[in-house]
């Protein structure tokens, strides 16, 4: 049995270009006791992966010559563990490879009767849909009539966060790059408005769309986008930091918000979170997201690159802002 995997060849300086990675094959030996072999079908491509390539940081780190850490879904091919049978669909830290040899503690069984396997990395994924649900319902808590702004709004987390805020009665404004994305937000997802940061003055548009100020900002980008919204927050607003994709290529020189004094001036708060800070909420988030997905009342577009060798391209595609919704690599 042969496994093809993407390994880290050298640590990126700035952008994680394709020459930082290598695609290699290995012949797998006999399956050890207590282990499972999983045929990986889809691999999640996440912005946070860039922070795992540094060698130090908040997230787990990838060693030189080691496979890239990534969530995945697939089916068990071979098992030396009772209760884990071949054919069972599973999700877990399968890494960027075609066959994962793992312990059952690294996996969870998933059912695939109503939703495709890819949904368990997208709308039901911990770093995507579940993160959005927890960020909105447990941290941001937008109320009816409040102005809710989300950055990277056409991405995997932002698109779900905006839809949940809309369900909760907020007026939702999405910030995204390019007309394809802004059109999708307003025409397909039902956002009240969208701002194209590539062609519009964010500050001027926010003043036009939210003349009384922004009540809740769900930020996935940081940098200039965060400053533009901070300059337009209302009194007693909430700024939620979910990510900072604009900063991940140079984490040694993070550009912090220059407009942070607006928080003091307008009696507002800024709070960061990660979904695993709220373990008690993960089951509820998964149940509700699953119900919405099955009834078709929440949407999660997918863009899929075919072939394990496309994984380095997928990372670049994401950081160049190319994807709409959840970005995946189909391993097989």
The verdict on 260 and 151 lying in the same domain is yes
pLDDT tens string 40-78? 999 999 888 888 888 776 667 899 999 999 999 999 999
Domain membership flag for residue 109: yes
Question: What whole-number distance in Å separates Cα of residue 41 and Cα of residue 134?
Answer: 27
Percent share of the chain, pLDDT over 70: 99
Q: What is the average pLDDT score of the chain?
A: 94
The pLDDT-based confidence of 308 (bands split at 50, 70, 90) is very high
Half-sphere exposure of residue 149, counting CA atoms within 13 Å on the CB side?
A: 31
Q: 113 or 326, which is more confident?
A: 326
Which pLDDT does position 58 carry in this prediction? 62
Parallel, antiparallel or unpaired: strands 214-219 and 147-151: parallel
pLDDT of residue 206: 98
Question: Measured between alpha carbons, how far apart are the two ends of the chain, in Å?
Answer: 14
196 and 219 part of one domain = yes
The residue-averaged pLDDT of 192-210 equals 97
Q: Which residues are within 8 A (CB) of 284 and not within 5 positions of it... i.e. 6 or more apart? A: none
Helix, strand, or coil here: 243? coil
- On whether both 147 and 110 belong to a single domain, the answer is no
Tell me: pLDDT of 160 over 70.
Answer: yes
Distance CA 326, CA 135 (A): 17
Q: Using one digit for the tens of pLDDT, what is the confidence trace for 277-305?
A: 999 999 999 999 999 999 999 998 899 99
Question: How distant is the alpha carbon of residue 90 from its chain centre?
Answer: 19
User: Distance between CA 268 and CA 110 in Å, rounded?
Assistant: 41
- Confidence (pTM): 0.92
Residue 18 and residue 159 in one domain = no
**Domains held by the chain: number:** 2
Query: 285 in a domain, yes or no?
Result: no
Answer yes or no: do 112 and 132 share one domain: no
Residues 332, 309 contacting (CB under 8 angstroms): no
Query: In this predicted model, what pLDDT tens digit does every residue of 98-148 receive, in sequence order?
Result: 999 999 999 999 987 789 999 999 999 999 999 999 999 999 999 999 999
Query: Is residue 215, in this structure, part of any structural domain at all?
Result: yes
Which single residue is written with the structure tokens 């006791």? 33
54 within a domain of the structure (yes/no): yes
What distance separates the 2 farthest-apart alpha carbons in the chain?
65
pLDDT score at 287: 96
Higher pLDDT, 254 or 79: 79
Note whether 227 and 258 are within 8 A (CB).
yes
pLDDT at residue number 201: 97
The predicted structure's pLDDT at residue 50: 86
Lowest-confidence range among 7-11, 12-16, 190-194, 200-204? 12-16
Residue 312's domain comprises: 2-122+300-330
Model confidence at 228: pLDDT above 70: yes
Q: What is the pLDDT of residue 254?
A: 83
One domain, residues 131 and 209: yes
Per-residue pLDDT band for 34 (boundaries 50, 70, 90) equals: very high
Same domain, 78 and 108: yes
């Amino acid at each position: 049995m042969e496994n093809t995997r993407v390994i880290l060849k050298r640590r990126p300086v700035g952008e994680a270009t394709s020459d930082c990675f290598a695609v290699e094959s290995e012949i797998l030996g006999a399956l050890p006791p207590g282990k499972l072999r999983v045929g990986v079908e889809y691999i999640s491509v996440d912005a946070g992966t860039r922070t795992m390539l540094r060698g130090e940081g908040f997230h787990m780190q990838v060693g030189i010559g080691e496979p890239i850490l990534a969530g995945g879904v697939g089916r068990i091919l071979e098992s030396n563990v009772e209760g884990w049978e071949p054919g069972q669909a599973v999700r877990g830290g399968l890494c960027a490879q075609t066959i994962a040899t793992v312990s059952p503690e690294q996996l969870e069984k998933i059912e695939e009767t109503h939703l495709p396997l890819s949904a368990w990395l997208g709308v039901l994924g911990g770093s995507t849909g579940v993160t959005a649900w927890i960020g909105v319902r447990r941290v941001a808590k937008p109320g009816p009539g409040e102005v809710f702004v989300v950055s990277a709004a056409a991405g995997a987390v932002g698109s779900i966060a905006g839809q949940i805020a809309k369900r909760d009665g907020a007026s939702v404004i999405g910030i995204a790059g390019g007309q394809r994305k802004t059109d999708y937000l307003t025409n397909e997802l039902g956002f009240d408005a969208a701002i194209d940061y590539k062609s519009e003055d964010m500050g001027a548009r926010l003043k036009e769309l939210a003349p009384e100020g922004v009540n809740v900002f769900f930020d996935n980008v940081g940098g200039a986008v965060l400053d533009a919204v901070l300059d337009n927050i209302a009194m007693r607003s909430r700024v939620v930091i979910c990510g900072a994709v604009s900063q991940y290529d140079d984490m040694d020189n993070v550009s912090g918000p220059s407009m942070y004094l607006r928080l003091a001036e307008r009696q507002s708060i800024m709070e960061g979170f990660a979904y695993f800070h709220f373990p008690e909420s993960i089951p509820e988030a998964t149940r509700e997201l699953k119900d919405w997905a099955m009834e078709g009342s929440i949407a999660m577009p997918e863009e899929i690159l075919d072939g394990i060798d496309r994984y380095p391209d997928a990372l670049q595609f994401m950081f160049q802002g190319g994807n709409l919704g959840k970005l995946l690599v189909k391993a097989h």
